[in-house]
């Protein structure tokens, strides 16, 4: 090879080396541009609604200057929140049903909460026809915002609200096949028409009336948790039908004394009897046989210690037992006591998953958006979170929970029902005095489930209230009023 050709090759290689940093910088800049462009698309499509709905976002005020905020309406046509203009031209939000929908619908001053917050983007957008909007602009008048049609059902909400009465607690009603929230009640409550006064009055007190217990109240699940304990035992023991235990009313497990409710003696029980009669000693015995890590993994599949697929404010449920936990922590955990905590919404989601053949649906409260003339703007479709358990496991649990309502702890409330119910009662102790909350969570029309009802009544041991009887009223209202 002649020297000229060699020099040319060397120069080319030298130039290529010089170009490497330029190419790296070019690719880096292009990558940044692509990432920024992708973020903008994601923000516009997915996150802009949440950002605008934030009560601290001043853009809401800009929207409100041009648009009269729309109404929130129940699925059966009742106006739950509306904007009214007084004689002086001042606008204010009116809540026709006062306390009844307080936590679900929320409020729109001194910050925001509930649907007022989550649907602000839609309420402050106007899809009136272009001619009307142009005419309003020329007259310097506001256009009318869209209406949010919620999934909330007035009949079920009012039934649950009245049935809970003067008790503190919460009620959640869901469609297991869709995730639609039909009812969300929390007590103590407040009147959102006077939210300014409510906030002022609660600032210097320990009042928790603004807390939505349905999504933010963390409670020991009590015996409702035995459904998951039973499922873990079934998964670890293919011969679970041969399980047998002799209940004598109380027993000691790894130094921990466990007794059944009122020290009832259940004699010889299998797994079905143990769940139906809510035998604490049997379930403590079952818990001692479980693999602790597998137990934790199952609970986390059901979203303990995890984020829920829910847009509103909520608190994570807690499951503390792990492979490194001392065996003495198992007996209380297995019966839903110890350090385990859950929200009523999460409890309803777990039961909905079982009712829905093992598939968990994401809960939601906005069904559709309509303009002020009633024309459809947008429809929200059910969203599947994921397959949590097999349909065969879900069927086993359904059959076990049928025993609870046919001959077990809830038979007095449901044995004469004209529809089938599968569920679980719970008594959750919350202090050293053994004061307890009352739980019921279950679903109706077991072969093709219609609704899930979750009820918790706080301090029921002292008030005499019972969650299963409250649930019965809600199920009756659904079949005798709503579904007809």
| Residue 217 and residue 306 share a domain | yes
Decide if pLDDT at 60 tops 60: no
Decide if pLDDT at 455 tops 90: yes
On whether residue 286 sits in a domain, the answer given is yes
Decide if pLDDT at 264 tops 90: yes
| Residue 357 and residue 399 share a domain | yes
Can you give the CATH number for the domain in which 126 is found?
3.90.1310.10
| Residue 219 and residue 204 share a domain | yes
On whether residue 34 sits in a domain, the answer given is yes
| Average pLDDT over every residue of 108-117 | 92
| Average pLDDT over every residue of 172-193 | 98
On whether residue 374 sits in a domain, the answer given is no
Q: List, in order, residues 6 or more apart from 367 with CB less than 8 Å away.
A: 75, 149, 150, 151, 180, 379, 380
| Residue 405 and residue 257 share a domain | yes
**98-124 burial by CB neighbour count: b if 16+ within 10 A, else e?**
ebbbbbbbbbbeeebbbbbbbbbbbbb
Q: What is the pLDDT of residues 360-414, one digit of tens each?
A: 999 999 999 999 999 999 999 999 999 999 999 999 999 999 999 999 999 999 9
pLDDT at 6: 61
Q: What is the pLDDT of residues 224-250, one digit of tens each?
A: 999 999 999 999 999 999 999 999 999
Q: What is the pLDDT of residues 119-168, one digit of tens each?
A: 999 999 999 877 777 767 777 788 899 999 999 999 999 999 999 999 99
**DSSP secondary structure code for residue 219 in this structure:** B
Tokens representing residue 330 in the block: 């198992």
| Residue 184 and residue 91 share a domain | no
| Average pLDDT over every residue of 14-34 | 64
Q: What is the pLDDT of residues 343-366, one digit of tens each?
A: 999 999 999 999 999 999 999 999
pLDDT at 66: 87
**Final residue in a domain of this structure, among 100, 117, 151:** 151
pLDDT at 40: 46
pTM for the model stands at 0.88
Tell me: cis bond preceding 188? Omega within 30 of 0 counts: yes
pLDDT at 43: 41
Decide if pLDDT at 56 tops 60: no
On whether residue 375 sits in a domain, the answer given is no
pLDDT at 15: 61
CA 123 to chain centre: 23
| Residue 267 and residue 237 share a domain | yes
Measure the CA–CA gap between 349 and 176, rounded to whole angstroms.
8
Q: What is the pLDDT of residues 275-320, one digit of tens each?
A: 999 999 999 999 999 999 999 999 999 999 999 999 999 999 999 9
On whether residue 167 sits in a domain, the answer given is no
On whether residue 158 sits in a domain, the answer given is no
Decide if pLDDT at 427 tops 90: yes
Q: Which domain holds residue 316?
A: 172-364+382-482
| Residue 300 and residue 402 share a domain | yes
Is the distance from CB of 84 to CB of 69 less than 8 angstroms? no
| Residue 441 and residue 328 share a domain | yes
Nearest of 235, 260, 174, 72 to residue 454 by alpha carbon: 174
| Residue 21 and residue 103 share a domain | no
pLDDT at 353: 98
Measure the CA–CA gap between 367 and 153, rounded to whole angstroms.
11
**Final residue in a domain of this structure, among 151, 180, 207:** 151
In the predicted model, what is the mean pLDDT of the chain? 90
How many distinct structural domains can be found in the chain?
3
| Residue 439 and residue 332 share a domain | yes
| Residue 213 and residue 122 share a domain | no
On whether residue 377 sits in a domain, the answer given is no
Burial of residue 459, with CB atoms counted within 10 A of its CB: 0-12 exposed, 13-18 middle, 19 or more buried: middle
Measure the CA–CA gap between 184 and 38, rounded to whole angstroms.
37
Decide if pLDDT at 44 tops 50: no
**DSSP secondary structure code for residue 290 in this structure:** S
pLDDT confidence tier of residue 203, bands split at 50, 70 and 90: confident
| Beta strands in 9-59, from DSSP E residues, in sequence order | none
Measure the CA–CA gap between 446 and 402, rounded to whole angstroms.
8
Q: What is the three-class DSSP state of 184?
A: strand
Neighbours of 409 (CB within 10 A): 23
Q: What is the pLDDT of residues 76-85, one digit of tens each?
A: 999 999 999 9
Burial of residue 35, with CB atoms counted within 10 A of its CB: 0-12 exposed, 13-18 middle, 19 or more buried: exposed
Can you give the CATH number for the domain in which 432 is found?
3.40.710.10
| Residue 266 and residue 246 share a domain | yes
Is the distance from CB of 436 to CB of 427 less than 8 angstroms? yes
Q: List, in order, residues 6 or more apart from 81 with CB less than 8 Å away.
A: 71, 72, 93, 94, 95, 105, 108, 115, 116, 192
- Determine the number of helices (DSSP H) and then strands (DSSP E) in the chain: 20, 19
pLDDT confidence tier of residue 45, bands split at 50, 70 and 90: very low
Is the distance from CB of 394 to CB of 354 less than 8 angstroms? yes
Measure the CA–CA gap between 224 and 426, rounded to whole angstroms.
5
On whether residue 159 sits in a domain, the answer given is no
**Final residue in a domain of this structure, among 117, 151, 185:** 151
């Amino acid at each position: 090879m002649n020297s000229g050709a060699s020099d040319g090759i060397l120069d080319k290689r030298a130039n290529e080396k010089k170009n490497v940093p330029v190419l790296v910088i070019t690719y880096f800049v292009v990558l940044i541009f692509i990432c920024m462009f992708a973020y903008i698309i994601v923000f516009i499509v997915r996150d802009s609604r949440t950002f605008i709905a934030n009560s601290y976002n001043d853009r809401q005020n800009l929207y409100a200057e041009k648009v009269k905020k729309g109404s929130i309406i129940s699925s059966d046509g009742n106006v739950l929140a509306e904007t009214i203009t007084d004689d002086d031209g001042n606008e204010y939000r009116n809540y026709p049903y006062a306390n009844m929908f307080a936590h679900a619908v929320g409020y729109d001053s001194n910050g925001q909460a509930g649907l007022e917050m989550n649907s602000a983007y839609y309420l402050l957008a106007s899809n009136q026809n272009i001619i009307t909007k142009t005419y309003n602009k020329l007259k310097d008048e506001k256009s009318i915002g869209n209406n949010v049609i919620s999934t909330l059902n007035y009949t079920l909400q009012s039934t649950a609200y009245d049935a809970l009465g003067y008790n503190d607690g919460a009620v959640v009603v869901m469609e297991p096949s869709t995730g639609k929230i039909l009812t969300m009640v929390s007590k103590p409550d407040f009147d959102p028409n006077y939210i300014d006064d409510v906030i002022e009055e609660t600032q210097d007190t320990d009042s928790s009336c603004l807390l939505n217990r349905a999504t933010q109240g963390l409670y020991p699940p009590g015996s409702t948790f035995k459904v998951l304990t039973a499922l873990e035992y079934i998964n670890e023991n293919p011969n679970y039908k041969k399980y047998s235990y002799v209940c004598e009313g109380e027993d000691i497990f790894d130094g921990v004394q466990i007794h059944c409710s009122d020290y009832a003696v259940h004699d010889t029980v299998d797994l079905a009897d143990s769940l139906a009669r809510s035998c604490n000693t049997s379930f403590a015995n079952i818990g001692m046989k479980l693999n602790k890590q597998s137990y934790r993994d199952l609970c986390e599949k059901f979203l303990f210690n995890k984020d829920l697929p829910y847009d509103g404010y909520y608190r994570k449920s807690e499951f503390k037992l792990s492979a490194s936990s001392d065996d003495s922590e198992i007996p209380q955990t297995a019966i839903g006591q110890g350090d385990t905590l859950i929200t009523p919404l999460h409890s309803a989601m777990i039961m909905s998953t079982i009712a829905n053949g093992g598939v968990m649906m994401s809960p939601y409260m906005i069904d559709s958006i309509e303009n002020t003339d009633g024309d459809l703007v947008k429809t929200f479709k059910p969203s599947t979170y994921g397959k949590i358990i097999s349909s065969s496991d879900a069927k086993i649990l359904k059959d076990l929970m049928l025993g609870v309502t046919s001959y077990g702890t809830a038979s007095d409330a449901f044995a004469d029902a004209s529809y089938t119910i599968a569920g679980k009662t719970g008594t959750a102790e919350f202090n050293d005095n053994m004061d307890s909350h009352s739980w019921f969570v279950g679903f109706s029309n077991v072969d093709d489930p219609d609704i899930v009802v979750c009820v918790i009544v706080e301090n029921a041991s002292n008030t005499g209230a019972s969650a299963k009887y409250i649930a019965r009223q809600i199920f009756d209202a659904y079949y005798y009023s709503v579904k007809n």
